[in-house]
Structure 1
Amino acid sequence: MRPLARLLGPALVTGLLVACSGGGSGEDGLPTVTGEYGAKPAVRVEKGSKPSGKLASEVLSRGDGPKVRAGDLLVADYLGKNFRSRKVFDNSYDRGAPAAFPLKAGPGGVISGWVKSLAGVPVGSRVLLVAPPKDGYGKAGNAQAGIQASDSLVFVVDLIASYRSGQALPKSTPVEGLPAGLPKVEGEQDPKVTVPEGADPPTKPRTTVIATGTGPKVGPGRLGIVQYTAVSWDNKPLASTWQDGPQGVPVGGQQPSPFDLLVGLPVGSRVVLELPAQPGTDAATGSVAVVVDILGQHGPAKEKAT
């Protein structure tokens, strides 16, 4: 789910290394980029050119949204190209949906070149960056992507949105007359979920909106941005995003997911999902209750550009 998250060891660096001159791709030895924000970029690395060995970046077009902060969940379209081989090794444009990355270096995050180059840049911007090995995949490289230990990497990144850790649910209206036996949810931030004693485990997935949002309805094939807490039917903690921050999840895509149950629900809603146990397991302990806050949904950057 995070094709760029090679998870390097260097400490997080928050210094901004973004050039402020706009539209000058191809200057200062940087590759040339053609294409507008939201369109799949064409990246040309001149024959015979060599990377400087230093992290370099340029804002190709500047957006007018809020500035992205280190530690945010960043929603973006991107293309990655190997400076040496001049081959594209990954891009989100062909998949038709953006990706979401915690903008932090280290386990669970992205390469440090992204953090240093993108923190402080406004949402709606297109950024070109060239990351040397120490700000990319390091000495290990990435054999699966054809990246060697000495390779510098070229990225074009379209910033679509960002979400703060602990970001509150948008405005919503509590639902009255909830079904008896529904798992109980307490608290706004980092809510607690409790399955009532004696509640029958679900035999099929159930979705109950407990607070209705005012945003657009989540569509299939979108990237949903959520916070959630999950417990087993005997109230043992299973998972939560609240410590690390919001998470991007594909909704209604080719790979089935419990989050497909969010399709058609308004952004800003709080939802309880009751999920049956896997076949062959004890329903009394293997069933799951999840409270999900729907913070947003996103399509590709080209939608934002229109």
Structure 2
Amino acid sequence: MPDNIVSLVDRHPTLDAAEIVASLVPPLHFHSASFESYVPDADYPSQDSTRVRLAEFAAGTSVTVRHARLFSRAKKGASELPGVYLDGGFGVGKTHLLAAAWNVAGGRKYFGTFLQYTSLVGALGYVKAVDALRGASLICIDEFELDDPGDTMMMTRMLGELMAAGTKVAATSNTPPQALGEGRFAAADFLREIHALAATFETIRIDGTDYRRRTSEGIASVYTSNDLSAKVSASVAGGTWVAYNSFDDVLKHLGSIHPSTYLRLINGIDVLALQDVHVIMNQTDALRLVAFIDRVYDAQIPIWASGTAMSDVFGGDMINGGYRKKYLRCVSRLIALTNA
């Protein structure tokens, strides 16, 4: 077998505390994100006003002259609260704006998903995790989750300590309540869960439609088994590094390693090829897949798959259940990655 055909199940990545801290930066495709490069949808004025407000918030840490025009448009007397929360549906550019704020900020700063921060606490312990983050100018939390009340309240406590010490916090939503409607986040639910921090966060509503749906087909691309095998062979011969596994093997392997290592699992891979994709009926497997696809999307790795279209993998009534928003966001990303 060529060296550039990789089996994910042969990889058993680990991540220590120092590596978790070092990994707290925006995903590669957001490294150059800026407020200027964010293109608001003219049909949803809240996108541009959110851009302006977050630029102003980021200016409280450090700012370059090129952003001055944006700041001048912000309302006078805007809130000086130490936290901002972007409340909106998926695919409206919240992560782009969050990364833009991180890129503008001066001093020591961190950017990560809710999972990365809880993994840091798990690796270091609460006190050492707080000490590691203490003194940061800005902490960005993408996809703040309410799945686990214990994790939510632990993060609430940690953010309270850090904000009291002068750190600013910017966060986006990723919450599962059934009251979301069209995948939209209910700010009141978030504020109720983090009642200790409610008074220190300014909630900014950002509306819009999923940009990935605007730029890709409505279903994930799928290959026949023979076509997938031929495509992998041709690509490998051309020097592409392909992770080639059965869908079941990948699902099983994801359950054997910690989700904080999923990004390392796909390190150095150019394409993810999955054989015999099928509908998932087990919610634990489904949620692991969501976490994995989030990391594949962060790395912008295309997916080639045979079997069931990956946009249809969440079976039963999962898509309408308590994790609706997670699954809808994942489907959106799968459509984009399989059509890349």
Q: Which has the higher contact order (CA 8 A, sep 6+)?
A: 2
More helix by share: 2
TM-score normalised according to structure 1 size:
0.27
Bigger strand fraction:
1
